[in-house]
Amino acid sequence: MKSNQTAASSSTKIQRVGVVGGGQLASMMGDAARALGIALVVQTPHATDPAVSVAAGAVLAAVDDVLATAQLADGCDVITFENEFVDLDGLRTLERQGVLFQPSLSSLDPLLDKYVQRCYLKDLGLPTPGFWAWDCSADLPIDFPFVVKVRRHGYDGQGTFIVKDRESFESIRAKLKGQSLLVEEFVPFDRELAVIAARSANGEIAIYPIVETQQQNQVCRLVIAPADISLDVKSEAEAIAHTLLNSLEAVGIFGIELFLTSDNKLLVNEIAPRTHNSGHFTIDACETSQFEQHLRAVCQLPLGNCELKCAGAVMVNLLGYESAESDYLEKRKQLAQIDGAFVHWYGKKESRPGRKLGHVTVLLDREVVDQGRMQVQAIAQTIESIWNAN
């Protein structure tokens, strides 16, 4: 196996990037890679996964298959990640052999387990909801309502449960028995926010406009950019991003999910060490997309401009509402007729309730943004009425 750290440092340009994961995030990274003249190679289980058709090559294997990642690394200058479902201990063997991972495994280490992540945030002095480790057998340290999360491999709301009463608690405890869990206080937040921020290897940090996110069954439903927040809240959110990314010595894009309480206090909910659903609006609305920005960071290129090219944007996820095989072409054509709309389809063969099949971003002019959230919500509702119509 070649020493990719040596290869990366001795070359003026990283030319081949390996991505562990081949879903829609890697697929959207593929478009950015072509624009930068970078070849993308993915490690993903199935030849039908979204990124395979846009990649320069693919290693067909599970994302936690370390031997497959070694094969991926043999043909790439740097390895990055689409998701967190990796075998960190196994990858450390490859790192010791000279494989360059960006973000580094040391920056991923405190983030992959949700309880460990919360402890890390607390040690940094960053504000979070109250939290406890729990194994289903011990007495609960908190009254109803509260939130239970599996500590590893939760994604798109899977493994997150809002527990409102004794009956739902007993059901969830039976379902999760034997797993290590995170229990946290339920936060009656005013809004949810997200920060998409990038850091380069030389410590340069670039932050996109803070966005508001809205969830449906713990899955992101829509994103409004920029969020209608005070300058103080904006500054605090950006300061949280700086503290976190510098502490981790992170390289790449990170998504930081926040709660904003009714008294304008911010609490850090979760950190995603990768491109993030709340940053999809950047493809069409910003000077540099989050996917290009991530590649710029991991390929040792200067970070790009994060500013909006328009007054604002709303991004709506096209979530599956049935179990079916369909490309929903007619609905996509209707959505494309909305003024300022950009329709992104992930090419997945099967729909199931809650599955992310695509997204629509609508660019907003100043008049719409000045009218406030209700007008933006109305645009989102138009998209959803077309998408969910029988």
Q: What is the pLDDT of residues 254-265, one digit of tens each?
A: 999 999 999 999
Taken in order of first residue, the domains within the chain and their CATH numbers are 4-101 (3.40.50.20), 130-185 (3.30.1490.20), 191-388 (3.30.470.20)
Q: Residue 2's pLDDT is what? A: 46
Mean pLDDT computed over 272-284: 97
DSSP state, 225? E
Residue 248 has pLDDT above 60, yes or no: yes
Higher-confidence residue of 232 and 372: namely 232
Q: Give the pLDDT confidence of 199-229 residue by residue, as tens digits.
A: 999 999 999 999 999 998 888 999 999 999 9
Q: What percent of the chain has pLDDT over 90?
A: 85
- Over the stretch 80-94, which tens digit does the pLDDT of each residue have? 999 999 999 999 999
Cβ neighbors of 69 (< 8 A, separation 6 or more) are 18, 20, 43, 59, 79, 90, 91, 94, 99
Mean pLDDT of the chain: 93
CA–CA dist 181, 141 (Å, integer)? 13
pLDDT at residue 157 in the model: 64
Above 60 in pLDDT, residue 297? yes
- Cα–Cα dist 137/157, whole Å: 24
Kindly report the number of other CB atoms within 10 A of residue 239's CB atom: 12
Report the pLDDT averaged over residues 258-282: 97
pLDDT at 9 over 90: no
pLDDT at 156 over 80: no
Q: What is the pLDDT of residue 7?
A: 39
Chain centre distance of CA 318: 16
Confidence (pLDDT) at 143: 87
Looking at per-residue confidence, does 12 or 184 come out higher? 184
Q: Give the pLDDT band (50/70/90) at residue 170.
A: confident
* Cα–Cα distance for residue pair 364/313, rounded to 1 Å: 5
pLDDT value of position 347: 93
In this structure, of 26-30, 72-76, 157-161, 236-240, the range with the lowest mean pLDDT score is 157-161
Residues 306-337 pLDDT 10s: 999 999 999 999 999 999 999 999 999 999 99
What's the pLDDT score for residue 377?
94
Higher pLDDT pick, 284 / 10: 284
Q: What is d(CA 222, CA 237) in angstroms, rounded to the nearest whole number?
A: 20
Tens digit of each residue's pLDDT (9 = 90 or more) over 57-81 = 999 999 999 999 999 999 999 999 9
Work out the pLDDT band at 134, boundaries 50, 70, 90. Answer: confident
The residues, any chain, with a CB within 8 Å of residue 273's CB and separated by 6 or more, are 81, 84, 103, 107, 108, 111, 250, 252, 254
